């Protein structure tokens, strides 16, 4: 299991296809647990989680769903299984779960490699609600466990729920592990005899074993959850559909009773403590950390400067009389705009520059409007902010000066003000230059980075803490050099001895050598240039050490029409494998890689579909599909899968590349505004097939302000 914790470029909300992999890999479970423990958002009356994660009773699922945006980390111990689950609710009708199961009475592998570490199984679950409860009809959901893992605990189910006051009753039918009792003939056998028998074993770790789904005998399961008069106590009882006589690895367990019962204690809104008696003879202990990331607003921004207050005496200055250098400083310090120029178009003043501080563009525009309003006298009716990233102009936002004053004075509502804001594509016009800012050539920062790998054969947890220096030197606004230098402070990589076998060029499975060969590394040493090729067409070229494992040259072109909910781009790269020390040395392997990528807003629940087709680092050809949901506050949940012309056998364990990610703006975590993000990515395994180049910049990310949702969905922040 792997996770990427990374800060993206300002406002980055794009596809994570090319940025999710390499910079730092660590365990998503532990990092998300810490995030929820910090109390990012409360989740009042969230449904309880099962031992397997996901809304349920103990061993059995229910048809219920959590609220959109809910994230839960669950850990449970019921001998011989310890389960660590992360549940995501990206849509009201869709629940996703990924899990590690530690089988405590089975060894991971040879003692020479893994010592006494217990066996670890990883899996992905999905549950879909078919319809919601009404007066007569129950909630009805269908789901599958372990659909993309080893299949040790794979099973499918259909379940319904009906509420009766404080009682919530469920009844379902399970196949595979969910219905391990298998005492009922499969009702689907009336369609075909092939449904009578469930094939033994799995098609291979990580494959979707479609010839297993809903096959074999079934069992009924169900139970009831009771919300007691005390908010902090929930009681649950269930009839288990499994009799534990067909456990994985011949690890059968004695079951004295199919009735499991216990209690959930809720000391606060984000923590559930569970205790139950299962199988009639085994005590289960567990806890759940949960929160609703979509509803999070973050802490009060006490470290931000207050917005500018109206001056006591309105200004009478003309644009020619204003100290624009001073205004530029105020715009940088208070509105987060690193001003590149200030111009005039008749009765309109235009400020151009990148946003460095505020994640919500409406807040930055509002702060800039206040500053300009205080400086200028009559004759200027509109203020416009042109958003720029790395020398590319993406969107211009114009505010009616008088209507904004009326909004601040509560003379008009936000709805009435909405029509007084315009957003357009930047176009070349005749403008009077009032101020041209000198180029800020050097931009640098220090940071501590933490990386970890969870669930490997060497040790369950491998970690590294590094000091990282980031530096950018600008020759022009469109041409700059980037460097990233890292120093390993401490780690436990002395335990990192395993290199996974591979039948493909080792473009990723040499990760151990890259992270253990040197304590001083240079992941990035890159020249980058951008160019606006047309009103909707952007270009970028780059050369150098492009990521920790590959260096070379490449370029990208993106067509992103303004006001449309789609874009298309292509990139082409010649790259060569770097030396393990991550210095200026190279190894022998080189490859031409590139993709044609389409980005599509689905027009439903802010879902974005990204489809990328082309050649990957191992020389294989294929397609990556990425589907994600972004909430109003910028939190994004998504999943991706890559299938190439490499066979499952050649790919190795996992069969094909896939993963789940959650991206959270730092703005929701810190007492000061920030444009950066923390992205948690769960890749079950690092393999060589389907591996894209991990590029530092992508044009889709750099032009994200062309997606107007961030501004429109958070227009209320224009007065903050």
CA dihedral 663, 668, 672, 675 (to 10 degrees): 30
C-alpha distances (whole Å) from 328 to each of 202, 332, 410, 431, 606 are 63, 6, 28, 18, 35
Task: Take residue 157 and report the two structure tokens written for it.
Answer: 């189910």
Give the residue ranges of the chain where pLDDT is below 70.
1-45, 148-149, 201-210, 654
Find out whether 554 and 562 touch, Cβ atoms under 8 Å.
no
Task: Take residue 438 and report the two structure tokens written for it.
Answer: 């000198």
The 8-class DSSP code of residue 425 comes to -
pLDDT value at residue 9: 32
Distance in angstroms (rounded) separating the CA atoms of residues 472 and 271: 43
Find out whether 152 and 248 touch, Cβ atoms under 8 Å.
yes
pLDDT value at residue 13: 32
Whose structure tokens read 């909630």?
139
pLDDT value at residue 6: 36
Task: Take residue 131 and report the two structure tokens written for it.
Answer: 């319809």
**HSE-up of residue 494 (Cα within 13 Å, Cβ side):** 3
In order, the DSSP letters of 34-88 are HHHHTTSS--TTPPPB-TTSSBBSSSSB-S--PPTTEEEEEEEEETTEEEEEEEE
Find out whether 218 and 179 touch, Cβ atoms under 8 Å.
yes
Which residues, including other chains, have CB under 8 Å from residue 434's CB and lie 6 or more apart? 319, 320, 322, 324, 342, 343, 344, 349
Please calculate the CA angle 90-94-99 and round it to the nearest 5 degrees.
Answer: 80
Around Cβ 651, how many Cβ atoms within 10 Å? 27
C-alpha distances (whole Å) from 417 to each of 64, 152, 387, 706 are 40, 58, 21, 21
Nearest to 297 by CA among 589, 39, 107: 39
In order, the DSSP letters of 254-279 are --S-SEEEEEEEEEETTEEEEEEEET
Around Cβ 105, how many Cβ atoms within 10 Å? 11
Q: Does CATH place domain 41-292 in 2.40.110.10?
A: no
Q: Give the strands of the sheet with 432-436, arranged side by side.
A: 421-424, 392-400, 382-389, 348-353, 341-345, 432-436
pLDDT value at residue 449: 87
Nearest to 653 by CA among 674, 683, 678: 683
Nearest to 422 by CA among 383, 394, 393, 364: 383
The 8-class DSSP code of residue 706 comes to G
pLDDT value at residue 47: 93
Measured between alpha carbons, how far apart are the two ends of the chain, in Å? 41
Distance in angstroms (rounded) separating the CA atoms of residues 651 and 644: 9
Task: Take residue 374 and report the two structure tokens written for it.
Answer: 């205080």
Q: What is the 3-state secondary structure (H, E, C) of 626-682?
A: EEEEECCCCCEEEEEEEEECCCHHHHCCCCCEEEEEEEEEHHHCCCCCCCCEEEEEE
pLDDT value at residue 110: 83
Tens digit of pLDDT for each residue in 251-286? 999 999 999 999 999 999 999 999 999 999 999 999
Tens digit of pLDDT for each residue in 320-378? 999 999 999 999 999 999 999 999 999 999 999 999 999 999 999 999 999 999 999 99
pLDDT value at residue 5: 41
Whose structure tokens read 């129950």?
138
Q: Residue ranges per domain, the chain?
A: 41-292, 319-439+711-719
Around Cβ 132, how many Cβ atoms within 10 Å? 15
Residue 512: strand, helix, or coil = helix
Find out whether 359 and 368 touch, Cβ atoms under 8 Å.
no
Q: How many helices (H) and strands (E) does the chain have?
A: 10, 31
The helix (run of H) or strand (run of E) holding residue 114 is helix 111-114
In order, the DSSP letters of 365-387 are HHHHHHHHHHH--TT--EEEEEE
pLDDT value at residue 201: 61
Task: Take residue 520 and report the two structure tokens written for it.
Answer: 């001083």
Distance in angstroms (rounded) separating the CA atoms of residues 335 and 371: 9
């Amino acid at each position: 299991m792997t996770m990427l914790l990374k800060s993206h470029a300002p406002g980055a909300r794009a596809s994570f296809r090319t940025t999710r992999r390499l910079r730092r890999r660590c365990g998503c479970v532990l990092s998300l647990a810490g995030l929820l423990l910090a109390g990012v958002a409360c989740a009042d009356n969230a449904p309880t989680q099962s031992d397997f994660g996901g809304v349920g009773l103990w061993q059995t699922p229910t048809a219920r769903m959590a609220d959109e945006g809910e994230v839960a980390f669950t850990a449970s111990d019921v001998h011989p299984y310890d389960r660590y689950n992360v549940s995501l609710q990206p849509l009201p009708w869709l629940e996703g779960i990924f899990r590690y199961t530690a089988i405590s009475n089975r060894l991971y592998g040879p003692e020479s490699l893994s010592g006494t570490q217990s066996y670890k199984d990883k899996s992905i679950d999905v549950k879909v609600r078919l319809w919601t409860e009404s007066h007569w009809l129950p909630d009805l959901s269908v789901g599958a466990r372990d659909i993309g893992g080893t299949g040790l605990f794979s099973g499918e189910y259909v379940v319904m729920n009906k509420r009766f006051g404080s009682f919530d009753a469920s009844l379902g039918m399970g196949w595979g592990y969910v219905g391990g009792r298998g005492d009922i003939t499969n009702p689907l056998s009336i369609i075909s005899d092939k449904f009578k028998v469930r094939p033994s074993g799995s098609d291979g770790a990580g494959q979707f074993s479609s010839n297993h789904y809903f096959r074999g005998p079934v069992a009924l399961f169900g139970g009831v959850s009771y919300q007691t008069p005390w908010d902090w106590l929930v009681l649950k009882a269930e009839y288990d559909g499994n009799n534990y006589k067909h456990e994985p690895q011949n690890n059968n367990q004695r079951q004295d009773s199919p009735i499991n019962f216990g209690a959930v204690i809720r000391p606060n809104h984000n923590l559930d403590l569970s205790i139950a008696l299962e199988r009639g003879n085994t005590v289960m202990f567990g806890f759940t950390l949960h929160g609703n990331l979509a509803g999070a607003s973050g802490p009060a921004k006490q470290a931000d400067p207050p917005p500018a207050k109206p001056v006591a005496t309105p200004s009478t200055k003309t644009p020619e009389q204003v100290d624009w250098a001073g205004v530029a400083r105020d715009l940088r310090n208070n509105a987060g705009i690193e001003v590149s120029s200030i111009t005039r178009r008749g009765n309109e003043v235009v400020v151009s520059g990148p946003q460095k501080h505020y994640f919500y563009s409406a807040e930055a525009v509002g702060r800039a409007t206040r500053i300009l309003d205080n400086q200028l006298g009559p004759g200027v009716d509109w203020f416009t902010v042109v958003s720029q990233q790395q020398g590319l102009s993406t969107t211009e936002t114009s505010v009616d000066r008088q209507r904004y004053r009326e909004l601040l004075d509560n003379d008009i509502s936000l709805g009435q003000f909405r029509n007084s804001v315009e957003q357009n594509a930047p176009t070349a016009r005749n403008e009077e230059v009032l101020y041209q800012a000198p180029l800020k050539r050097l931009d640098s920062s220090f940071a501590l980075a933490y990386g970890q790998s969870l669930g490997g054969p060497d040790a369950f947890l491998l970690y590294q803490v590094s000091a990282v220096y980031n530096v950018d030197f600008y020759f022009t606004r469109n041409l700059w050099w980037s460097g990233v230098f890292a120093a390993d402070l401490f780690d436990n990589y002395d335990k990192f001895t395993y290199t996974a076998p591979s039948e493909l060029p080792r473009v990723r499975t040499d990760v151990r050598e890259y992270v253990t060969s040197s304590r001083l590394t240079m992941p990035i040493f890159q020249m980058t240039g951008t160019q606006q090729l047309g009103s909707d067409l952007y270009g970028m070229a780059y050369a150098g050490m492009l990521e920790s494992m590959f260096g070379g040259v490449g370029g990208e072109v993106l067509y992103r029409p303004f006001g449309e909910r789609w874009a298309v781009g292509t990139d082409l790269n010649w790259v060569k494998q770097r030396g393990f020390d991550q210095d200026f040395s190279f190894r022998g392997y080189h490859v031409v890689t590139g993709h044609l990528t389409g980005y599509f807003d689905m027009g439903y629940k802010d879902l974005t579909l990204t489809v990328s087709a082309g050649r990957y680092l191992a020389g294989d050809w294929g397609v990556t599909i990425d589907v994600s949901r972004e909430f109003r506050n910028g939190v994004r949940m998504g999943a991706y899968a890559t299938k190439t012309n490499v066979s499952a056998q050649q790919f190795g364990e996992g069969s094909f590349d896939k993963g789940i990610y959650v991206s959270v703006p730092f703005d929701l975590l810190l007492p000061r505004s920030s444009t950066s993000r923390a992205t948690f990515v769960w890749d079950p395994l690092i393999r060589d097939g389907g591996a894209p180049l991990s590029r530092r910049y992508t044009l889709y990310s750099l032009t994200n302000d062309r997606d107007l949702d961030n501004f429109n969905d958070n227009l209320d922040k224009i007065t903050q």
